[in-house]
Chain A
Amino acid sequence: MINKKVLDKVLKRVEKPARYIGLEENSHNKDLNNSKVKFVFAFPDVYEVGMSHLGLHILYNLINDEDDYVCERTFAPWFDMEAHMRENNIELFSLESKEEVKNFDILGFTLQYELSYTNILNMLDLASIPIYSKDRDERYPIVIAGGPCAFNPEPLSDFIDLFLIGEGEEATLEILELYKKHKESGFKKENFLYEAAKSIEGVYVPSFYEVGYNQDNTISFRKTLVPGIPETIKKRRVKNLDKMYSPSKMLVPYIETVHDRIALEIFRGCTHGCRFCQAGFIYRPIREKSVENLITQAKKLVESTGYDTISLSSLSSCDYSQLDLLIHRLLDNLENKYVGVSLPSLRLDSISIDILKEIERVRKTSLTFAPEAGSQRLRDVINKGVDEIDLEKAVGYAFKEGYSKIKLYFMMGLPTETNEDLLGIRDLSYKVKDMFFNRPKEEKIGNFQLTTSVSCFVPKPFTPFQWFGQNSIEEFYEKIDLLKKTFKDPKIKFNYHDPRVSYIEAIISRGDRRISNLIFKAWECGCKFDGWSSSFNFENWQNAIDNSGIDPYFYANRNRDFEEILPWDFINAGPTKKTLLREYFKSLEAKKTPDCREVCNGCGIDNCEMRGVFN
């Protein structure tokens, strides 16, 4: 355990000390000494961000509900805390027992975004744990990682002992079970990893594989180094969400977090097949929870947390097949508790006026629409199944109901994009504004404000755009300039993402094993919290690129050959490479692919739970 007196001194000096104290409602205080496997869940970002992540709450309760295991939490300490910790020799500790992370059996990182990778290295260092997997023996915890970014694990392959690809509910317990068995009979890291790689589906241990490269830097081969382990890693997916573990409790942070509310997961997967969206491909097929089950869960969660808002969480919540019924029943059951329901994402095509009205019964939420591209042609390219009429309908309704603050989200740098497509972003924004001011006087309610945000497209693995070279930083700036000039209305706020951040993200997200070195060098140069615009330092990253000797163009901007072995090809994420390729070609011709609830597009998933249920 760390020195609590020193901790107390430090806490008096830092911003938001409650980030580091734990003790939240529904937190566990199991005895570490009495547990057979000690797991510490590590979120490589600051407490408020990590605590807003649903997966943390699921895994935390899942593990702690087992008598033999304990799960505690740790987060990346903010700059001020890190400085004090280093100065006072406080190692990275768990919030629950204030125990050094080093003393746990398993340290599990969740990989939500690539720009948190330098924080992983920094946390290992703060924990006095060697950063490279090869330097860690039995004295140190096994370091594992999972989450959406684990679908391309290679950039972290030098640091992480074991990756879990896909949904973690079932596999995590299998890993802990195996660990327990090995611990009881004299733990050997190598043996444990081998058994896990061999026997647990979805487990990937990078050290058991070798990768070779061609002269031109592309991959020449991949091979297994030990017998008996799978050549392709199949992602884990939970078959029946109603039977899956769902916590009846959620940790309730004392300090304000990004999402101060209940996150009620209503389904997994998404059927729209937007071609830029990684989640839409890797979490296929769609699997819903039943209304009955959700109502029971929601009641328990309200009781155990006291939150006053339930957010219906999923990739595209308006798609839930019985959304009307669900919202009605939720509100009827909980209205006397003054509990409101919110939908985090609204799709323009499925926006149901009745649904919005239902939500009105308790509380208003702000409205955000994501047309993603400015022209219909480009929306067809990315298979975003909405048109201008959808947007008009939705916005018109919103205005009538008294919403006056609207946010629109777009991307730039999409395949086949022209200046005309870009200017469509301006046109659409002005159209929304005109729609507000062209209303009869008595219907112009509130103070109109439109925010148009444009982000820089980052091509991701396991999407049809995985072969596509990202726009260069210069191209992005030219596009921003073009757009900026056309936005002259004070009622419309034009925002854009920093192209340099998206460039780094692009290098990492489609990186291979050699990117480990870049991440290490970046950390050495002082990079951390790169997802925060206040701390992202491009100069440091550029130094890291120079020091590591990698060619950034090769990773970010190059169009890949279709025959090329891609670093993540050895993972079976569901949809086949052939499907992705077919989708890419269709996109170039601006041809749409229907939603797979209407018709199965044969994406290649074996035993797809959707077939026959929806289509």
Chain B
Amino acid sequence: MKIRAKYTKLGYLKYLSHLDLIRLFNRSLTRTNLPVKFSEGYNPHPKLSLGNPLPLGIESMCEYFDIELTENISPNDFMITLNKVLPKDIKIIEAFEIDEFTPSISTSICISVYDLVVDTVNLDEEVDYNLEITKFLNLENIEIEKKKKKGRNKITAKVNIRPFLHKLSVEKIEKNIVKFNATVMTGEKGNIKPIELLKAIDFYTMIKLDLDSFEAIKIDSF
């Protein structure tokens, strides 16, 4: 059977790379007695597939992986058993059965909702945050520079991210801290990283941000 699990990635564990995460799940599965299906061949490993990588340094309440098992067990038992060996900041919060017709994680889950908290640097000027964001959303072209791989070389290309930005609002302004809520595409068809969005806000609006200070958490994805 196949199970899809939704898990968190919080605290300092936001600094684990995609590869680190795969290895963590592999080791954790080995430590349980779950009937995990192993790949054949030279170096057997659990049949596990993760969704699109979360950028390093971003927390999340809603990451997903799929796992193949050799026996049927209840998804709830799967969750409880695996959670016993997972670190406290990476825990399964939901698990359900899927079958071979279920679309893969990366094709079915490609929209993310982020909470972004960041220090502002324009203290003396009066800035109307909501107005600035409305103006920002009215732009047809929001260009940012993205690093891309072209063959062996890395090149930077200008990309218009406006079509990938679905929603953006100011949630809270407190002293020099602003909190945004953003719904963006994260997948092969279009992708915005939190830092890219913040850079664009900083560049295109009067809201000036201390980009080093940002904290981002993915609160929903679908």
Contact = CB atoms under 8 A, between A and B. Distances in A.
A18 B16 contact: yes
Interface string A355-394: 0000000011000000000000000000000000000000
Contacts of A307: 27, 30
A55 interface: no
A21 B15 contact: yes
Interface residues of A, number: 29
Interface in B6-59: 11-13, 15-17, 19-20, 23-24, 26-31, 38, 42-45, 56-57
Contact of A305 (B13, B15, B27, B38): B27
A9 B28 contact: no
B102 interface: no
B188 to A, nearest CB: 25
Contacts of A308: 26-27, 30, 45
Contacts of A12: 57, 212
A308 B43 CA distance: 10
A252 interface: yes
Interface string B97-110: 00000000000000
B85 A306 contact: yes
B30 A9 contact: no
B196 interface: no
Contacts of A21: 12-13, 15
Contacts of B26: 306, 308
Contact of B31 (A256, A306, A363): A306
B12 A255 contact: no
A17 B15 contact: yes
Nearest to B20: A254
B29 A254 contact: no
B89 interface: yes
Contacts of B31: 302-306
A11 interface: yes
A338 interface: yes
Given A254-B16, A363-B42, A8 B30 contact: no
Interface string A240-254: 000000000000101
A25 interface: yes
A338 B17 contact: no
A17 B57 contact: yes
Query: Residue among B15, B16, B23, B45 with the most chain A CB within 10 A?
Result: B15
A23 B43 contact: no
Contacts of B45: 308
Contacts of A363: 42-43
A310 to B, nearest CB: 12
Interface in A291-343: 302-308, 337-339
A22 interface: yes
A405 to B, nearest CB: 14
A439 interface: no
B190 interface: no
A25 B26 CA distance: 13
B56 A17 contact: yes
B186 to A, nearest CB: 19
A306 B20 contact: no
B215 interface: yes
A23, A260, A304: residue with the most chain B Cβ atoms closer than 10 Å? A23
Contacts of A23: 11-13, 87, 89
Given A307-B27, A363-B43, A364-B42, A8 B215 contact: yes
Contacts of B138: none
B16 A252 contact: no
Contact of B20 (A11, A18, A25, A337): A18
A13 interface: yes
B57 A11 contact: yes
Nearest to A339: B30
B213 interface: yes
Contacts of A337: 30
Interface in B194-222: 212-213, 215
B154 to A, nearest CB: 16
B212 A9 contact: yes
B20 to A, nearest CB: 5
B28 A306 contact: yes
A9 B17 contact: no
Contact of A338 (B15, B38, B87): B38
B13 A306 contact: no
Interface in A252-290: 252, 254-256, 260
A18 B15 contact: yes
Interface in B74-119: 85, 87, 89
B16 A9 contact: no
A211 B75 CA distance: 71
A269 to B, nearest CB: 32
B44 A338 contact: yes
A589 B165 CA distance: 80
Among A12, A256, A260, A337, max chain B CB count under 10 A is at A12
A307 B38 CA distance: 15
A254, A304, A337 pick with most chain B CB within 10 angstroms: A254
Nearest to B213: A9
A9 B213 CA distance: 6
Contacts of A305: 27, 31
Interface string A17-32: 1100111010000000
Nearest to A306: B27
A387 to B, nearest CB: 34
Interface string A451-490: 0000000000000000000000000000000000000000
Contacts of B213: 5, 9
A18 B42 contact: no
13 contacts: A8-B215, A18-B17, A22-B12, A23-B89, A25-B87, A252-B27, A254-B13, A254-B24, A256-B20, A306-B28, A308-B30, A363-B42, A364-B42
Interface of B: 11-13, 15-17, 19-20, 23-24, 26-31, 38, 42-45, 56-57, 85, 87, 89, 212-213, 215
Interface of A: 5, 8-9, 11-13, 17-18, 21-23, 25, 252, 254-256, 260, 302-308, 337-339, 363-364
> Which 10 A-B residue pairs are closest in the complex by CB-CB distance?
A306-B27, A21-B12, A306-B31, A17-B15, A306-B30, A254-B20, A18-B15, A9-B212, A12-B57, A338-B44
